[in-house]
Copies of this chain bind each other. A is one copy, B any other.
Amino acid sequence: MLLIVTLRVNSPNSELFVVKRLMSENIAQPPAEPAKKAGYHHGDLKEALTCAAEALIETKGPEGFSMAECCRMAGVSTAAPYRHFEDREDLVKQVAARGFEALRVATKTRRDSHPPGSVDSIVAMGQAYVRFAESSPAVFRLMFAKHKRMDEGHQAIHETGGTCFMVLLEAVDAFREQRGLSATKTLDIALPLWTIVHGTACLLIDRDFDVVAPETDPDDLVRIATEGFLSGIAGVN
């Protein structure tokens, strides 16, 4: 509790961060000693910096985000992050990896709220993908952007991204098996579906529909495109 008050005093912009931190504390780990004294040590600076980075990236964009501002937000000196992260890139990758995990959970949850292999389950999964992009556009961009350095951190992102793709593959396999389609077709179905939702997400968050079709409803678009494609695959080919 005292910790939170300290943060507020140190940086007036940190309210969102505090809320996020509280949320992730609730989910992740219940504090071992709840009545901890505020002081020299932060407690969980790595977590705090990651949350601050996430919020900042969402505000300023993946490139506009700066280490310095992140420190200001967390109320620590500019040297502090280097106890927890190799460099700026390392911190950014942490945010990206978290994004993939959130995307995986969101798509899986929506998918599983419909019968396995149903068109509805695939549509719902796609809509969840687009909604995630809509709610965290900058993090979404970051996740799928090409990263500069190739290291373990990057590998970690790849793995998290891979498990995300598994959610789609499972759904497609169920769909395919129910209709007696060859297993070799899995990617021929999964990749087009991915392009539909990824394209919708990108065009939506970059506000490109506004120019040529401002009335576009992303949920409708995903439904029309997905149903159209799946009926083309299942019915004709």
Contact = CB atoms under 8 A, between A and B. Distances in A.
Interface string A197-237: 11110110111110111001000010011011111110111
Contacts of A63: 63
Given A146-B207, A202-B202, A212-B161, A191 B221 contact: yes
Contacts of A232: 227-233, 235-236
A130 to B, nearest CB: 10
Interface residues of A, number: 43
B195 A203 contact: yes
Given A211-B162, A233-B228, A195 B206 contact: no
A85 interface: no
Contacts of A145: 206
A158 interface: yes
A197 B216 CA distance: 17
Given A63-B63, A161-B212, A195 B225 contact: yes
A192 B229 CA distance: 9
A91 B213 CA distance: 27
Given A195-B199, A196-B195, A203-B194, A144 B229 contact: no
A232 B195 CA distance: 17
Contacts of A229: 192, 225, 228-229, 232
Contacts of A192: 196, 221, 224-225, 228-229
B202 A198 contact: yes
Interface of A: 63, 144-146, 158, 161-162, 165, 187-188, 191-192, 194-200, 202-203, 205-209, 211-213, 216, 221, 224-225, 227-233, 235-237
27 contacts: A144-B208, A145-B206, A146-B206, A146-B207, A158-B211, A161-B211, A162-B212, A165-B211, A191-B221, A191-B224, A192-B196, A192-B221, A192-B228, A192-B229, A194-B203, A195-B195, A195-B196, A195-B221, A195-B225, A198-B199, A199-B200, A202-B202, A228-B232, A228-B233, A228-B237, A229-B229, A232-B236
